[in-house]
Amino acid sequence: MSPLRMGYLGLAVWGAVHPMAWFVSWFREQGLSLTGLLEGWHANAATSGLVWDLTIAAVALTLWILAEVRVRRNWSALLAIPATFLIGVSCGLPLYLFLRTRPV
Task: Tell me how many domains the chain contains.
Answer: 1
Task: State which residues form the domain around 47.
Answer: 3-100
DSSP state of 65: H
- Please say if the pLDDT value at position 38 is more than 90: no
Q: Going by C-beta distance under 8 Å and a sequence separation of 6 or more, which residues neighbour residue 20?
A: 87
pTM for the whole structure: 0.89
Q: Evaluate whether 18 touches 24 at the Cβ level (below 8 Å).
A: no
Q: Which tens digits make up the pLDDT trace of 41-56?
A: 899 999 999 999 999 9
